[in-house]
Amino acid sequence: MSWPILRPRLTLSLLALLAGCANPGAPRVPAAVITPAAAGLGDMAGVFPVARWWSALGDPALDSLINTALAGQPGLQAAAARLAAADALLAGLQASQGPQAGLGADVTRQRFSANGLVPPAVAGSVRNTASLQATGHVALDFFGRNDAALGAAIGRQRAAAAEAQAARHVLAGQLTQGWVGLARLLAQRALVGEAQAQRQALRDLVAQRVAAGLDTQGTLRSADGPVPEARGQIAALDAQIATARHRLAVLSGQAPQALDSAAPRLAGLHLALPPAHLGADLLGQRADVVAARWRVEAAAQGVAAARADFYPDINLNASLGLSALGLDRLLNLGSRQYSAGPALHLPLFDGGILRAQLQGRAAEADAAVATYNAAVLDAAREVADAASALRSLALQQAEQAHAQAAAADALALAQQRYQAGLGNRLPVLQADALLLAQRAQTTDLQARQLDAQAVLALALG
């Protein structure tokens, strides 16, 4: 039969097959992915942060600590193992969708039934049977089922890769915040040490005035209280410093005592302020948002694969080999056998199983979109909160600088009066105590600014 006559018949046959397939129902309207504008993000991006954003703080010890953590922290090793598993699944799926070939051989010693279908010459005897056969299989993906399944696997693998990167960024952020926190505790410890010395000096001065009859014992008892209070504060800070060092060491994958000598200084950490406008493509670098977006892609491909299940599955199978009764005949030309042809699977009626699977995949896709949209909105909020906090802290730091300068001027005036003989030492010590309080407030604001910088970098990914 000629091809011009055969072609219409094949077309009609294919259309008949398609008409006989199970009905997937009306096309669904997928959930909408949120736009940058809807999340309150601009289109123009700044230049913050860089990939190794913590390096902007300018502390080589922090860089070394994070490098150590990124190289061998157990949590990151677990994330890397999950990514390797996703890579292996993807590689396996890619390999399974290509042409397949195999070679099989078997030898069997068998007694044939004397009362069966085997001819009398063989019936009731014990013989050797052998076969040697090559097989081949090709899946013809006419309706995109295999491509969709592969696309879903690629989406899951890329999501796992993004999640592994997110784990690295989170770990770096936690270490940076912990490092700033340790520097803050050490700065507070130094200030409380100065305060203890100042309170002791004030108590000694009051004792001298009591001895001279210029003050009462009640005043002396009031001056006695702050000295042990300062010693208690020092002991509490020492415990917090030890705990912070232990946490940083374990978080970086080291023994708890590995950082017992770590002593970061707030004054040695630099603050990098973000640009005035933070755009959508900056937020697009955030690994958990990227992972959520790939989960959406994987779910969409899952829907496409479920819809393709309604259509025929066509494969080509072939085999070529030898089969014989008796090993001496296996390699004879007459022992050859071969087969080739298509295999068709056509769903006609399944009681609604395929439609239920499609609806389930569609619901998973909508859930993935909702998760992504929530991740974008949460990320945008975190960025906005961190940027606002940095701007507010910058204004507070500017005002605090004026307050500290005023306290320093008051101390200088008190010292000048004392040196000129116009007053005693008590106003000097009181002014010094006020300056210490202002310095403590400045230290707190500086640490909060550095911490907010880390929070913003984390929010931007």
What's the whole-number mean pLDDT along residues 399-421? 81
Asked whether 405 and 434 are in contact (CB, 8 A), the reply is no
- C-alpha pair distances (Å), 429 with each of 35, 198, 206, 207: 60, 7, 11, 14
Question: Percent of the chain scored above 70 by pLDDT?
Answer: 81
Cα-based torsion angle of the residue sequence 13, 16, 18, 20 in order, rounded to the nearest 10 degrees: -140
Six-digit token pair at 210? 């009591």
Is the separation of the CB atoms in 230 and 199 below 8 Å?
A: yes
pTM of the model: 0.68
Q: Angle, nearest 10°, between helix axes 145-211 and 426-460?
A: 180
Q: How far apart are CA 447 and CA 393, in angstroms?
A: 10
Is the pLDDT assigned to residue 155 strictly greater than 80? yes
DSSP summary character for residue 36: T
For residue 305, count other CB atoms closer than 10 A to its CB. Answer: 21
Reading the block at residue 74, the tokens are: 């157990």
Q: What does the pLDDT average to over 371-383?
A: 84
Q: With 80 as the cut, is the pLDDT of residue 40 above it?
A: no
Other CB atoms within a 10 A radius of the CB of residue 117 amount to: 7
19-23, 73-77, 146-150, 249-253 — which is least confidently predicted?
19-23
Q: Is the pLDDT of residue 278 over 60?
A: no
Please give the Cα distance from 170 to 176 (Å, whole number). Answer: 10
Give whichever of 127-131, 143-147, 237-241 has the largest mean pLDDT. 237-241
Amino acid identity, position 95: A
Report the percentage of the chain scoring pLDDT > 90.
2
CB under 8 Å to 241, separation ≥6 — which residues? 182, 185, 186, 189
Q: Which residue has the tokens 């259309």?
A: 15
| Encoded amino acid at 188, one letter | Q
Helices and strands in the chain: count of H runs, count of E runs: 10, 4
What DSSP character marks residue 279? B
Q: What's the pLDDT band for 103 if we cut at 50, 70, 90?
A: confident
pLDDT at residue 3, rounded to an integer: 46
Half-sphere exposure of 207 (CA within 13 A, CB side): 7
DSSP string, 41-56: -BS-------TTGGGG
Terminal CA-CA length for the chain: 66
Q: Are 401 and 443 in contact (CB under 8 A)?
A: no
Q: How confident is the model at residue 417 (pLDDT cuts 50, 70, 90)?
A: confident
Cis geometry, peptide bond prior to residue 342 (ω within 30 degrees of 0) = no
Element containing residue 258 per DSSP (H, E): none
Query: What is the 3-state secondary structure of 175-224?
Result: HHHHHHHHHHHHHHHHHHHHHHHHHHHHHHHHHHHHHCCCCCHHHHHHHH
Q: Does the pLDDT value for residue 21 go beyond 60?
A: no
Q: Is the pLDDT of residue 284 over 70?
A: no
Residue 412: what are its φ and ψ, rounded to 5°?
-60, -40
Note whether 275 and 147 are within 8 A (CB). Answer: no
d(CA 287, CA 460): 9
Query: Containing H/E element for 111?
Result: strand 100-111
Question: Can you tell me whether residue 293 is helix, strand or coil?
Answer: helix
| Percentages of the chain per state (helix, strand, coil), in multiples of 5 | 65, 10, 25
Distance, CA of 364 to CA of 295 (rounded, Å): 10
**Which pLDDT score, from 0 to 100, does residue 45 have?**
43
Spatial distance between the Cα atoms of 13 and 322, rounded to a whole number of angstroms: 35
Provide the pLDDT confidence category of residue 47 given band limits of 50, 70 and 90.
very low
